[in-house]
Structure 1
């Protein structure tokens, strides 16, 4: 059994403080939470810390979450042992039914993940095991499980899993996650319901699962993930895996803090994953900013449109979308090979003298047609480097 998530601990603390008028001593708050959630603390939660046997892990972790809320300006920064909502914070902003429903569904999915790992996840689980685990049912690409996930906060349900076997849709997948294509068929009502359920998973920061080909032809791989971004106009979502590599433990505040060798909390893993380089995230952001059309030849076949770094990744170029530009695979390779560059002031496409512009099939003379422009600083940096090698 895992520890109760960081987000759930914060929700429980805020719910309690809002219910008692906004403030309480630390001891009163912890004792109240102990009683209010007596049947919901996990075995790991109520186990003693290694360094402070008199205190359970969840009490120590709630204290850390209180500090996080102070840093976010939700609670007051006090040192007198009183935990209090920040001045001006409206307790009515805390939607208690929504928090309860969200936390219950997150807990259900975490239990599903524990059961899936016992059945062979992430790399080798039999397809017939997916339905009993509530990970999958039917042949649709997006599984919602409406009967279970439909609620007042999600009238169309919340997406549970995404099937990506490399057959029906041209999804882009790497070790970090997948750019998943939303359904576009003649069954608009059902397709729209699945899209709405996917958006709700994003809005609620709900863990989801991606079903992939397994280690053997007859098996499946299951990856726990989150919907990180949604682009309805392009019909794409960015899904980031949570378990593709181990994460280091969070630092404690002092030597007496509980040391957690493994952090298995969805929110923490997601936030720390987002801070890491991710080519799928960069590509998604570039196409979302500029559109899925080559900037120099107007080809709009998204499967061959790539996100090119203006300042190269090999030169520590950032993954900010403003340091990127959409190019088809051919023109991306020409750009990386130094055939052409963009003059910073006019964004004119300039070719080297020895290259045959006529054979390049470039039909755009500059970048003014793009809905947004790339960073001038990035263009100037690339132009300077390109000019120095002419």
Structure 2
């Protein structure tokens, strides 16, 4: 008897149930089958290895399962039998971008169907459908996708929280470019990730938790080459715009308005933070203009009018600052004059040198919006009870008598 003698749909359902109970690896190991690399049986939004399911189902119907070498897989054999019984068999090797996009949503349904109550699933479930492979931060399934794009297309991103303060939020996250000792491969994987964005294909953002993983569906929505960061937006829809360069002058400036909202208790979400940081880096560069620090991992995106006070996420309402100066600025230890762009400090200190400020004036090819600087400067005056007569017309403080910075 062969695979064409499989005629009982209930036997297939029994094989599917056994697969779910054991998991893919143990199921294949028990019955001596290899994982599928092209075709997948879809049932209740889950994906299965069709040849293995058919061989085991034969055993449920006739008492003797078929071994891997007893029959052929593929369209003319296993797939035809399963379809005749009313099951859906899909190709995991699409030939067009539209088919690839549909296939990724099919994978997403499968992964969601396999998550537990905590939203976790076995890492083997990711590899079973090629949502991830290897250990690199960018998984490019080149063998399957290079016919759609020369460098292949990124499929999965292995994510770690690279910036707790302003790199991760409910809207999206920042993800680093690949950075290994294989320079040529790093470039190829970076290009493949950008190509995924240009084709409006979703990616799977993976966070490992020991032998388990959590997965979110995302879209590569922008990047900044100097800081080597991608902006990945979460959700089921492709972004309306790819942030591949500074677009801040494309619309009128608004100082107020954000989507900050309270989730539960005292936990407040900041849904625009990752996007805000990538746009600040695109406008000004990932360098602190006041200290000279130019290590992107040490640079944060500072709001001039904070989002907690309804400040907008327009990058013209921001500046890149190293982490220490970011906190000093938020503590109103210094200010920037909105007209002269001079750096001002409080009469009681600390001094610019103590703060690590090495320049007396904000100098950038592109500057923040004057109304944002004005708002922050006024707030600094109020918080420190400094009156305008204490400031000279050229923006220098008369309170300290300190020598010029630098």
Instruction: Tell me whether the two structures share a fold, i.e. TM-score over 0.5.
Output: yes
Distance 1:334 1:189 in 2: 41
Provide the alpha-carbon RMSD of the alignment.
2.5
Contact 1:116–1:133 (8 Å) recurs in 2 = no
1:193 to 182, 188, 192: 188
CA distance in 1, matches of 2:227, 2:160: 21
Alpha-carbon shift at residue 139 of structure 1 (Å): 2.0
Relative contact order higher in (CA < 8 Å, ≥ 6 apart): 1
In the aligned structure 1, how far is the partner of 2:231 from the partner of 2:371?
27
| Distance (whole Å) between structure 2 residues aligned to residue 209 and residue 331 of structure 1 | 35
TM alignment of 1:96-111, pairs within 5 A: 101-111=96-106
Which runs of 5 or more structure 2 residues have no equivalent in the other structure? 1-94, 244-257, 260-270, 387-406
Deviations 1:339-361 (A, max 9, x none): 11111112110111111213212
CA distance in 1, matches of 2:206, 2:226: 25
For the 8 Å contact 2:226–2:286, the answer to whether it is kept is: no
The 5 Å alignment of 1:178-257 reads 178-214=173-209, 217-242=210-235
1:120, distance to aligned residue in structure 2 (A): 1.1
Residues 1:320 and 2:314 aligned together: yes
Partner of 2:325: 331
- Give the CA deviation at 1:178: 2.1
Structure 1's unaligned 5+ residue stretches are 1-99, 243-264
Question: 1:142 pairs with 115, 138, 141, which one?
Answer: 138
TM-score for both structures, normalised by structure 2: 0.60
Q: 1:233 Cα deviation (Å)? A: 2.6
CA distance in 2, matches of 1:209, 1:120: 14
Q: Confirm whether residue 133 of structure 1 aligns to residue 129 of structure 2.
A: yes
User: By how many angstroms is 1:303 displaced?
Assistant: 2.1
Cα deviation digits, residues 2-59 of structure 1 (max 9, x gap): xxxxxxxxxxxxxxxxxxxxxxxxxxxxxxxxxxxxxxxxxxxxxxxxxxxxxxxxxx
Shift of 1:170: 7.0
Mapping for residues 64-79 of structure 1, pairs under 5 Å: none
> What is residue 69 of structure 1 aligned with on the other side?
none
Report the count of equivalent residues.
261
SS of match in other structure, 1:338: coil
Residue equivalent to 2:119: 123
Residues 264-290 of structure 1: per-residue CA shift (max 9 Å, x gap): x523xx459x99541111111112221
Rg larger in 1 or in 2?
A: 2
Q: CA deviation at 1:144?
A: 1.2
Residue aligned with 1:303, SS: helix
Within 2, Cα distance between the matches of 1:382 and 1:141?
Answer: 39
Question: What is the TM-score of this pair, normalised by structure 1?
Answer: 0.62
Conservation of the 8 A alpha-carbon contact between 1:208 and 1:227: yes
Q: 2: CA distance between counterparts of 1:304 and 1:209?
A: 27
CA distance in 1, matches of 2:175, 2:197: 13
SS at match of 2:328: helix
